[in-house]
Structure 1
C-alpha cells in the first residue's frame, strides 16, 4: 500500500466514524471563541514529548504552553500515534499537530508549517562501548532501527542505498527502537540529533553518539496546520507568537533547558 493510498484510507475511516469537525470560516476565531486549541502529539518522543508518571512534559509542551498564552487560549494535549496524526489533522480531529514534524518539500505542498522549533537533521546512536561503529558510513551492511513514517526513515533508506545496503527496521516509537538497541538486537538507531543527544545525555552508560553523528542534509522540525484559507490567520498568529518568544528569550531558555544549548532557527518554514 502506498503512503497516498494509506492516507486516503485513514481519512475515509475517520470520517466514516463521524470524527471529522466541519470546516470553519476562520479557525483562529473559533479557537478564541471556544477558549481552547486542540493539539495532537506522540508523547513518546523525548525530549520533545514524554509521559512522566502519567504527566505530559517536554520541550514541545513548554513551547506550546507559551504559544497558547500568546493566543489567549488554553491548550488541550492529546496523545496520538504518529501515523494517525496527519490523517487526523486533515479531517479536523484537532487544530494542530505539535509533534515535531520534519519539514520536507513534499509536506510543504500538502500542509502549512509553523516556523521551525528545532534542528531535525538525521543522526545515529549506537550501544556504548561499540568501537566497531564510529562514523555514519560504518552502518553499511548493519541493521538500523528508525521510527516508521518519519523523514528520518526516508533519509536512512536513501543513505543506506548510497552505502550499498543497510537493513532498516521500522518501529512504532523511538522508545521501542532504543530498547532493541540496548538489548543488542540492532546495531544502531537513526533519529534527529536533539532526540539522540538527549538520550545519550540521560543514559551514557547504555548509548553513545557516532562521531560525527549527523548525515544527510540539514533539516528542521516544525508544527503542522491544515493548508486551507480558514487556517491562515491561525498560522500567522502562531508565527507572530514564535517571533515574540524568540525576541524575548523564551525560545532560548526552553532550548537550553531541554537540549543543553541554543540553536538559532529560521523564522519561516523552509526545507533547505
Structure 2
C-alpha cells in the first residue's frame, strides 16, 4: 500500500511537472502578446543597421522592428550589448530575438532559426582614402588588417588572407568602430566588413575612407536569428509573416533606400547558405 502511494505520488508529481512545463511552453508568442513587448537584443556599433546618433539608438534595424512591432501589435524593447554577447544573450533568454543582423551560415542555421533576409552581407574591404597601396583585395597581402570580434565577416577575412602569398596580420577589435578608428589613424591598412556597412561608412566620411572593389567575400545575406525550439516556433512564424508582408508592400525597400541609398534583391528565406 505504501508502495502504491509512492507510485501515485511520483506519477502525480510527474503530471504536475508536465503541466507546469506545458504552461510555460504556451509559447513565446503568447508571452510576448501578454507582455505587450517584444525584447530585441543588438549591438550599437554596426551602422547603418544599429548605431548611436545624438545619443539615440538609430538605424535600419530600429525602423524595421518598429514596423514588425506594429504588425504584431506590441512595443519594441531594445537590449543593447556588445556583439559577442548577443547570441549568448539570446540563448540565456535575455531577449526574444536578435535585432542585429547576422550573416546566415550553415553552422548558424543548425543552431538558430533565421528570419527573411534584410540585406546582402557580402564582405569587402574598407581602406583609407587615397591609399594607393591597396587597389584590390589581394593587395593587403603582408599587411595588417582588422575586423570586429566574433563576426562572420572577421572569419571570412581570416580565410581570405590565409590564401594570399604573403599572409596578412589580422587584428580583432571589440567592435567595428574601434577598427575604423585604427584604420583612420594608419595603424592598419584595411577593415573587413559587410559591403552595406562599409559603403555607409565611406559615404559618411569620404575624406577618410574608401571602399576597395570588388568585394572578396562569398555571396551572403543578413537576417535576424532567433531560437528554433518548439517554444519559439509561433513567435518566429509570426515575425517571418510580418517581415514578408513588410517586404511585399514595399516598406522594406523604403527602409533600405533610406539607410543604404539603394535596395537589395534578397530571397524570402535562405535555405541553403553558401557559407
**With structure 1 as the length reference, what TM-score do the two structures score?**
0.90
Matches within 5 A, 1:59-98: 59-98=60-99
Q: Which runs of 5+ in 1 are unaligned?
A: 1-21
Shift of 1:23: 5.9
2:12 counterpart residue number? none
Matches within 5 A, 1:30-49: 30-49=31-50
2:178 counterpart residue number? 176
Query: Displaced runs of 4+ in structure 1, greater than 6 A?
Result: none
Q: CA RMSD in A?
A: 1.2
Question: Aligned equivalents of 1:230 and 1:93: distance in 2?
Answer: 15
Query: Does the residue aligned with 1:99 lie in a helix, a strand or coil?
Result: coil
Question: Aligned equivalents of 2:180 and 2:85: distance in 1?
Answer: 22
2:207 counterpart residue number? 205
8 A Cα contact 1:26 1:233, kept in partner: yes
8 A Cα contact 2:124 2:213, kept in partner: no
Shift of 1:242: 1.1
Shift of 1:177: 0.4
Question: Aligned equivalents of 1:201 and 1:257: distance in 2?
Answer: 13
Query: Does the residue aligned with 2:100 lie in a helix, a strand or coil?
Result: strand
Q: Which runs of 5+ in 2 are unaligned?
A: 1-22
1:19 counterpart residue number? none
Is 2:152 the partner of 1:156? no
Is 2:106 the partner of 1:105? yes
Shift of 1:141: 0.8
2:20 counterpart residue number? none
Query: Does the residue aligned with 1:112 lie in a helix, a strand or coil?
Result: strand
Query: Does the residue aligned with 1:168 lie in a helix, a strand or coil?
Result: strand
Shift of 1:25: 2.9
Question: Aligned equivalents of 1:44 and 1:27: distance in 2?
Answer: 28
2:198 counterpart residue number? 196
Question: Aligned equivalents of 1:56 and 1:78: distance in 2?
Answer: 11
Is 2:235 the partner of 1:234? yes
**With structure 2 as the length reference, what TM-score do the two structures score?**
0.89
Query: Does the residue aligned with 1:77 lie in a helix, a strand or coil?
Result: strand
Q: In the TM superposition, what whole-angstrom CA distance separates every residue of 1:169-196 from its partner, at most 9, and x where no partner exists? A: 0001100000000000011000000000
8 A Cα contact 1:23 1:92, kept in partner: no
Aligned length: 250
Shift of 1:105: 0.3
Shift of 1:155: 0.6
Query: Does the residue aligned with 1:265 lie in a helix, a strand or coil?
Result: coil
Question: Aligned equivalents of 1:166 and 1:23: distance in 2?
Answer: 50
Shift of 1:269: 2.8
Question: Aligned equivalents of 1:108 and 1:23: distance in 2?
Answer: 25
Shift of 1:211: 2.1
**Structure number with bigger Rg:** 2
Question: Aligned equivalents of 1:141 and 1:220: distance in 2?
Answer: 29
Question: Aligned equivalents of 1:218 and 1:25: distance in 2?
Answer: 38
